[in-house]
Structure 1
Amino acid sequence: MGKVISISNQKGGVGKTTTTGAIAAGFKLKGFKVLCVDLDSQSNLSFSAGAETEDCPTIYEVLKEEVKTSFSIQRTESFDIIASNILLSGIELEFTQTGREFLLKEALSSVKDKYDYIFIDTPPALSILTVNAFTASDYIIIPMLSDIFSLQGIAQLSETIKRVKTYCNPNLKIEGILLTKFNKRTILSKEIKGTAELIATELGTSLYKSTIRASVAVMEAQTSQQNIHQYSPKNGATEDYLSFVNELIKRGI
């Protein structure tokens, strides 16, 4: 039975999609069977993986129960993926029925035993899609930048997580907080890291030992529709993400 992990932060630009793609590809490199679910209507993960988003079944059709989950899975060089498109942006108004929080969990139940890991790239907003992701997940990984605004975003995110644990998924766990675009030489980064450690403790989780450096190669890889491990295996950020994958494995994830 595959472990389901949401990568989430309501603040945009923190490396959420990049982190999802990098660790998913990293786990696949280690021989694991990996599926990604693009739950963001911007479809950035789908594009960067080279997946089709038009004229094919997406997570939108899956959630509307118009197509079986297995029929929506695309195979790419980086990992298997259920893509998204702009239609997903209207889902909040379309899904008003009782039990709408469990749609993704029910959809993934038919394919969980085929994968070791299922990674969900969540939208940068606390919507019904985010709630669906958390309800379906075993763990949440929170990427954040080394700035005060990211810290504020985590506080708001924690409230949503508490509600989901109370009403939908009592076994949900915040696996940890990951610092992205991190420069260990700046005083601000060191200060933010210290504050993040305190917040992690309050949330009953921890700050990962691994941190991710900023790199232009990350954006170049996404533009060329390759994962970072293919595009620039010796890049600093690539090494950081591989270190992070190893850390997750050592933590029992």
Structure 2
Amino acid sequence: MEVIALVNQKGGVGKSTTAQLLGNGLRHKGKRVLFVDLDQQGNLTYGVGINSPVIGSYEVLTKRNNIDDAIVTSAQGDILPATNRLAGLDIELFSEIGKEYRLKEALEPLKNTYDVVIVDAPPTLSTVVINALTASTKVIIPTQADIYSLQGLSQLANTLQTIRQYTNPNLFLEGILITRYNDRAILTREITDMIDKTAQTLGTKVFDTKIREAIAVKEAQAMRTDLFEYAPKANVTMDCMAFIDELNL
């Protein structure tokens, strides 16, 4: 079972959107997928069609509920949903020994149930993010081709180094995915070159595939539906499938 974390310490770079697109694309390729929403904003939870979940990732990480009781099924697949109670997790687990391993332990019994777990992590350095990275086999960094996103990549490098040193030595940085891409902008192309150089310092790559800016993605999100069913022939849908092929899961 691959556990893939979508992580960036800068917000607004398309993490939740990428998580949803990746999970749904893998479902359409026949993979058994579980979404895990660890972001207190709950965008992924809402996006797959779940309203006001009673229990979710917070209850699992605090061991109030078993993960089997918290997983819900939507039209877009199974998800461990998020609630705003995640905001208090750092305080609640502050003195707990082994708090970094809560998600990893919770996912262990599911290794024969799912092929891929897609984890949407919040744009912070917190107990939740450490849990996501400790539980994961791979990391994908979604980013936009702008200067602030470039700063976020540098910050994340230190976090990944710490995780490998203390809680997950086998964590593999799969690559950097550029989202909301516009190849007609000169600045975008210049920033993309800078991201390539940053990837080299991180010992990883920038995916050849870039997910273009497209209204079809926003329309599918507004309707809380699967892009691959809503606009199967759209260019952005082809981008997503090319990215999944590049991942070669």
TM-score of Structure 1 vs Structure 2, range by shorter chain: over 0.9
CA deviation after TM superposition for structure 1 residue 231, in Å: 1.8
Q: Counterparts of 2:42 and 2:218 in 1: how far apart (Å)?
A: 15
Moved more, 41-50 or 218-227: 218-227
Residue 221 of structure 2 corresponds to which residue in structure 1? 222
**What does 1:44-193 align with in structure 2 at a 5 Å threshold?**
44-55=43-54, 57-96=55-94, 97-193=96-192
Deviation at 1:73, TM superposition (A): 1.3
1:34 equivalenced with 2:28 (yes/no): no
C-alpha distance in 2, partners of 1:121/1:130? 9
The answer on whether the counterparts of 1:14 and 1:145 sit within 8 Å (CA) in structure 2 is yes
CA drift of 1:125 comes to 1.0
* Cα pair 1:53 1:84 within 8 Å, conserved: no
* Partner Cα separation in structure 1 for residue 210 and residue 193 of structure 2: 13
Q: Secondary structure at the match of 2:209?
A: strand
Root-mean-square deviation over aligned CA pairs: 1.1
Q: What letter is aligned with 1:115?
A: Y
Q: Deviations over 1:191-236 (max 9, x none)?
A: 1111111111111110100001111221221121112112222222
- 3-state SS, counterpart of residue 54 of structure 1: coil
Paired position in structure 2 for 1:232: 231
- % same residue: 41
Moved over 6 A (4+): none
Deviation at 1:77, TM superposition (A): 2.0
| Greater CA drift, 108-117 or 204-213 | 108-117
TM-score (norm 1): 0.95
Match of 1:205 in 2: 204
Which blocks of at least 5 consecutive residues in structure 1 are unaligned? none
Tell me the matched-pair count.
Answer: 248
Q: For residues 44-65 of structure 1, give each alpha carbon's deviation from its aligned partner in whole angstroms, at most 9, with x where no partner exists.
A: 000010124333x211111111
Q: Distance in 2 between matches of 1:136 and 1:42?
A: 21
Contact 2:53/2:81 (8 A) holds in 1: no
Tell me the alpha carbon deviations over residues 134-184 of structure 1, each in whole angstroms, 9 at most, x when there is no partner.
000011000110111101001001111110100000000110000111111
Report how far residue 27 of structure 1 moved. 0.3
Q: Is the 8 A contact 1:54 1:85 kept in 2?
A: yes
Name the aligned partner's letter for residue 9 of structure 2: Q
**Distance across 1 between alignment mates of 2:152 and 2:160:** 13
| Normalised TM-score (structure 2) | 0.97
Asked whether the equivalents of residues 46 and 224 of structure 2 are also in contact (C-alpha less than 8 Å), the reply is yes
SS of alignment partner, residue 207 of structure 2: strand
